[in-house]
Amino acid sequence: MTIINVASFAAGDWIAPDQGARDIASAVTGDVIAQAGGTLDYQHMLDHARNVGGPNLRKLGFHDRAKMLKALALHLTEHKQALYDLSFNTGATQADHGFDIDGGIGTLFVYASKGRRELPDGQVLIDGPVEPFGRTGSFVGQHVLTPLQGVAVHINAYNFPVWGMLEKLAPTLLAGVPAIVKPATATCYVTEHCVKLMLDAGILPEGALQFIAGGTGDLLDRLTCQDVVSFTGSADTALKLRSNPKILANATRFTAEADSLNASILGPDVTPDQPEFDLFVKEVVREITTKAGQKCTAIRRILAPEARVADVIEALEARLSKTVIGDPANPDTRMGALVSTDQRADVLARVATLASEAERVIGNPDDFEVQGADATKGAFLPPMVFHCADPDSATRVHDTEAFGPVSTILPYRDVDHAVALANRGQGSLVLSLISHDADVARDVVMGAGAYHGRVYINDRTSMKESTGHGAPMPHMIHGGPGRAGGGEELGGMRGVTHFMQRTAVQGSPDMIQAIIGQHVPGATPKAAPAHPFTRSFTALEIGETITTGPREVTLEDIAHFADFTGDTFYAHMDAEAAKRNPFFPDRVAHGYLLLSFAAGLFVEPNEGPVLANTGLDGLRFMKPVVAGSEIHVTLTVKRKTRRTAEYGEVRWHVTILDGEDDKVAEYELLTMNAY
> Does residue 298 share a domain with residue 379?
yes
In three-state form (DSSP H/G/I as H, E/B as E, the rest C), the secondary structure along 526-561 is EECCCCHHHCCCCCCCCCEEEECCCEECCHHHHHHH
Interval 583-593: pLDDT, tens: 999 999 999 99
For residue 73, give the H/E element and its range.
Answer: helix 62-78
Which residues sit opposite 412 in a β-bridge?
305
Average pLDDT over residues 608-616: 94
Q: If 0-12 CB within 10 Å is exposed, 13-18 middle and 19+ buried, where does residue 412 land?
A: buried
> Does residue 598 share a domain with residue 458?
no
Confirm whether 655 is domain-assigned: yes
> Does residue 541 share a domain with residue 442?
no
Domain boundary among 408, 441, 476: 476
> Does residue 555 share a domain with residue 441?
no
Does the pLDDT value for residue 20 go beyond 90?
Answer: no
pLDDT value of residue 597: 96
Sheet architecture: strand order including 209-211 = 13-15, 8-10, 209-211, 179-182, 152-155, 228-233, 253-258
Confirm whether 595 is domain-assigned: yes
Does the pLDDT value for residue 1 go beyond 80?
Answer: no
- Which ranges constitute the DSSP H helices of 290-430? 309-320, 341-354, 415-423
> Does residue 460 share a domain with residue 555?
no
- For residue 551, give the CATH number of its domain: 3.10.129.10
> Does residue 20 share a domain with residue 137?
yes
Average pLDDT over residues 64-83: 96
pLDDT value of residue 550: 96
Interval 384-405: pLDDT, tens: 999 999 999 999 999 999 999 9
Name residues whose C-beta falls within 8 Å of residue 34's C-beta, 6 or more positions apart in sequence.
3, 4, 5, 6, 23, 24, 188, 189
Identify residue 262 by its one-letter amino acid code. Answer: N
Distance between CA atoms of 478 and 541, rounded to whole angstroms? 40
Burial 530-544 (b: 16+ CB within 10 A, else e): eebbebebeebebbb
State how beta strands 544-547 and 630-642 pair: antiparallel
> Does residue 192 share a domain with residue 72?
yes
> Does residue 171 share a domain with residue 48?
yes
User: What are the φ/ψ torsions at residue 494 (nearest 5 degrees)?
Assistant: -60, -35
**Residue 9's pLDDT band (cuts 50, 70, 90):** very high
Confirm whether 258 is domain-assigned: no
> Does residue 309 share a domain with residue 456?
yes
% pLDDT > 70, the chain: 100
Distance between CA atoms of 30 and 53, rounded to whole angstroms? 39
Confirm whether 580 is domain-assigned: yes
State how beta strands 125-132 and 359-362 pair: unpaired
User: What are the φ/ψ torsions at residue 524 (nearest 5 degrees)?
Assistant: -60, 120
Does the pLDDT value for residue 200 go beyond 70?
Answer: yes
Categorise residue 634: left if φ over 0, alpha if ψ from -120 to 50, beta otherwise. Answer: beta
Confirm whether 486 is domain-assigned: no
> Does residue 414 share a domain with residue 559?
no
Interval 446-493: pLDDT, tens: 999 999 999 999 999 999 989 999 888 999 989 999 999 998 999 899
Distance between CA atoms of 135 and 132, rounded to whole angstroms? 8
**Residue 234's pLDDT band (cuts 50, 70, 90):** confident
> Does residue 379 share a domain with residue 455?
yes
Confirm whether 248 is domain-assigned: no
End-to-end CA, the chain: 58
Domain of 350, in residue numbers: 263-476
> Does residue 568 share a domain with residue 652?
yes
Answer for the pair 626, 552: CB distance below 8 angstroms, yes or no.
Answer: no
pLDDT value of residue 268: 97
Confirm whether 234 is domain-assigned: no
- For residue 41, give the CATH number of its domain: 3.40.605.10
Active site residues: 257, 296
Does the pLDDT value for residue 602 go beyond 90?
Answer: yes
pTM, rounded to two decimals: 0.90
User: What are the φ/ψ torsions at residue 60 (nearest 5 degrees)?
Assistant: -85, 150
Domain boundary among 168, 185, 220: 220
Confirm whether 445 is domain-assigned: yes
pLDDT value of residue 258: 87
- For residue 369, give the CATH number of its domain: 3.40.309.10
What is the tally of structural domains in the chain?
A: 3
**Residue 660's pLDDT band (cuts 50, 70, 90):** very high
Average pLDDT of the chain, as a whole number: 94
For residue 652, give the H/E element and its range.
Answer: strand 647-658
In three-state form (DSSP H/G/I as H, E/B as E, the rest C), the secondary structure along 408-461 is EEEEECCHHHHHHHHHCCCCECCEEEECCCHHHHHHHHHHHHHHECCEEEECCC
Nearest to 13 by CA among 54, 36, 51, 41: 41
Answer for the pair 291, 406: CB distance below 8 angstroms, yes or no.
Answer: no
Distance between CA atoms of 641 and 371, rounded to whole angstroms? 56
Does the pLDDT value for residue 355 go beyond 90?
Answer: yes
Name residues whose C-beta falls within 8 Å of residue 362's C-beta, 6 or more positions apart in sequence.
313, 316, 317, 320, 383, 384, 385
Nearest to 162 by CA among 237, 95, 105, 240: 105
Domain boundary among 188, 220, 252: 220
